[in-house]
Amino acid sequence: MPETLPNDTPYPKHPIVEKSNSIQQIRYVCAIAAMHSASAIPRVIPITHCGPGCADKQFMNLAFYNGFQGGGYGGGAVVPSTNQSESEVVFGGEDRLRALIESSQKILDADLFVVVTGCISDLVGDDVGAVVKDFRGGDSPVVFAETGGFKGSNFTGHELVIKAIIDQYVGEYDGPRTAGTVNVWSLLPYHNTFWRGDLTEIKRVLEGAGLTVNILFGRESGGLPEWRSIPQAQFNLVLSPWLGLQTAKHLEEKYGQPFLHLPVIPIGAKESSAFLRNVVAFAGIDNRQSEEFIRSEEAKYYGYLEDFADFYSEYWWGLPAKFVVIGDSGYNLALTKFLVNQLGLIPGKQIITENPPEEHREAIRAEYQRIAPDVVTDVEFEEDSYRIHQAIRGTDFGQKPPIIFGTTWERDLAKEMKSAIVEVGFPASYEVVLAKTYLGYRGALTLLEKIYTTAVSASA
C-alpha cells in the first residue's frame, strides 16, 4: 500500500478530514424506505404518497442492488404511488391519495395497506390521517406513517411503520398473556442483505429451545394474525444494539409487556448457546428442552469445525490475521465477536455506518470493550465512505493486509490494498441472496465457507 497520496503528501491520520455537509457513497436511505418494512410482512402492501421516482429509488437501492432480493408479494413494482407533481405542491395531494387508496383496494389483494409519506406531502401538510381514517374498516384496512426524508433514515422509518401498525391496526388489549411466547424485534428488512435467512434461523433456534415465536417479518411470519397476537406475548425480545428498543418501550407502555434487550446478534455456537440460555432464563420456562437442543446443535456444529480444522491449521499460503468490519452496528458487533472468539483473528478497525442515535453510542462502545476476556477494541461511527476509506488506509495492519467485511463500496479499496473482501451489508451488489444466513449455528458454518473460499480465491 502506498505511503502517500498522489500529490506526495502523507496519508493523514484519524480524524481524516473535517466534517462536511456531503456524504459520499451513502450506506442507508431515507425514512420512506420503510415501505420495505411494510412489504416484508406477508400480504401487506405499502402505498407511497410522494413524488415520482421516490419509491422506485428505494426499491432499486435496498432490494435490487443489495443482494438482488426482489420485491416480494407487495413490494417492488407492485407498490402504488401518488407520484405527486407541482399541482399537489400547490393545491395539496389529499384527493389524489384518496383516489389511489380506493383504486388500490379494488385492484390489489392485500390484508392491510400501509400509507407512507414522502417529503412533499409532509412539507405541504397533507392531512393523511384524515384521509386514511375513512378506510380503516373493511377486509383490507389502511394505516399510515409520516416518513418524510427529513424525519431520518430508513431505521427511523422502520420503527414509525411498526408503531403505526400497532396503534392503528392492532389496537388496545387488556387480556391474558401466553407464557413462553416472544415477539422478536431485530434486523432491518431489506437493508440487512440476509434478513430473510437470518430471521428464519433466529426463529428456528428459539423454537428449538421451547419458545413460541412471533418473528413478524419474512417468510416465517404468520402475517397479520401474528401481528394481532403481539399483545398476547409474554415478552418482547430486542436482538440488536439499538434498533427495536423504541418499539419495545412503546409496547411496554401500551400493553405493560416487559422486554429483554440482547445487543449481540448470535453467530456461532458460543454466542448462540449463550443467547438461548439468556432468553429461556428471562422467559422462566423449563430449560430441559433448550439444553437438549443446545447439545444437539453444538455437537453438529463442532463436528463440522473438526473437519474444517485440517484446512485451518495446514493451509500453507497463509490466512489473514487481522480484519476490518464496516457496516451497521448489528452485524458489526456480531461479526467482531465471532471472528475474535471463534477464529482468533485480530480486530484491526471497526466502523459503524448507520448513524445510531447519540443516546445509544456509549452502550455500543462498551460492547467493544468486552469482545473477549482478553480482547478489547475501539469502534468508530462514520457515514461518509471517503472518510471511512481514508481511515482504513491510515491504519497499520502489519505485514499482511486484513480481510475486509464491508459492502460493494469497499471493493476498490480491497483491490488497492490487495485484501480479500466479504460483502456483509448494504449495498451488496456482488451477492445474490435467497435464503442465506450468517447467524446462529447453521449460518456461522455458511459464513466460514464464505470467508475462506474468498481468502483462498484471493491468494490464487
Residuewise pLDDT in 10s, the chain (460 residues): 344 444 444 434 444 444 556 788 889 999 999 999 999 999 999 999 998 888 888 888 889 999 999 988 999 888 999 988 777 776 678 999 999 999 999 999 999 999 999 988 888 888 999 999 999 877 889 999 999 888 899 999 999 999 999 999 999 999 999 999 999 999 999 999 999 999 999 999 999 999 999 999 999 999 999 999 999 999 999 999 999 999 999 999 999 999 999 999 999 999 999 999 999 999 999 999 999 999 999 999 999 999 999 888 877 667 788 999 999 999 999 999 999 999 999 999 999 999 999 999 999 999 999 999 999 999 999 999 999 999 999 999 988 899 999 999 999 999 999 999 999 999 999 999 999 999 999 999 999 999 999 988 876 6
Q: Which of 170, 192, 227 is the last residue of a domain?
A: 170
Query: Both 157 and 186 in a single domain?
Result: no
d(CA 145, CA 154): 12
What pLDDT is recorded for position 11?
Answer: 38
Query: Both 123 and 230 in a single domain?
Result: no
In a domain, 201, yes or no: yes
d(CA 276, CA 201): 12
In a domain, 26, yes or no: no
In a domain, 217, yes or no: yes
Query: Both 60 and 110 in a single domain?
Result: yes
Q: At what angle do helices 329-341 and 269-283 cross, to 10 degrees?
A: 120
Query: Both 119 and 230 in a single domain?
Result: no
Provide the grid cell at 320: 489473514
pTM, two decimals, is 0.92
Query: Both 350 and 453 in a single domain?
Result: yes
Q: Which of 115, 141, 170 is the last residue of a domain?
A: 170
Amino acid making up residue 148: G
Cis peptide before 176 (omega within 30 of 0): no
Cβ atoms of 354 and 381 within 8 Å: the answer is no
In a domain, 251, yes or no: yes
Rounded CA Rg of the chain: 23
d(CA 117, CA 131): 13
What pLDDT is recorded for position 316?
Answer: 61
Strand order in the sheet with 346-352: 380-381, 346-352, 322-327, 403-406, 421-423
Query: Both 152 and 185 in a single domain?
Result: no
Q: Which of 275, 290, 305 is the last residue of a domain?
A: 290
In a domain, 301, yes or no: no
d(CA 460, CA 457): 5
∠ Cα 175 223 439 (to 5°): 105
d(CA 59, CA 54): 9
Query: Both 354 and 321 in a single domain?
Result: yes
Query: Both 145 and 194 in a single domain?
Result: no
Count of the separate structural domains present in the chain: 3
- The CATH number linked to 148 is 3.40.50.1980
What pLDDT is recorded for position 20?
Answer: 56
Cβ atoms of 34 and 50 within 8 Å: the answer is no
Query: Both 90 and 106 in a single domain?
Result: yes
Q: Who's near 26: CB < 8 A, 6+ residues apart? A: 383
Query: Both 49 and 101 in a single domain?
Result: yes
Burial 165-185 (b: 16+ CB within 10 A, else e): bbebbbeebeeebeebbbbbb
In a domain, 266, yes or no: yes
Q: Who's near 143: CB < 8 A, 6+ residues apart? A: 112, 113, 114, 115, 132, 136, 164, 165, 168, 169
Query: Both 46 and 160 in a single domain?
Result: yes
Query: Both 226 and 110 in a single domain?
Result: no
In a domain, 128, yes or no: yes
∠ Cα 114 353 166 (to 5°): 25
- Long-range contact set of residues 388-394: C-beta below 8 Å, sequence gap at least 24: 388/326, 388/351, 388/353, 389/413, 390/11, 390/12, 390/16, 390/17, 391/14, 391/16, 391/349, 391/351, 392/324, 392/326, 392/349, 392/417, 393/1, 393/11, 393/417, 394/11, 394/12, 394/13, 394/14, 394/16
Range of the domain at 248: 178-290
Cβ atoms of 347 and 329 within 8 Å: the answer is no
In a domain, 405, yes or no: yes
d(CA 423, CA 456): 16
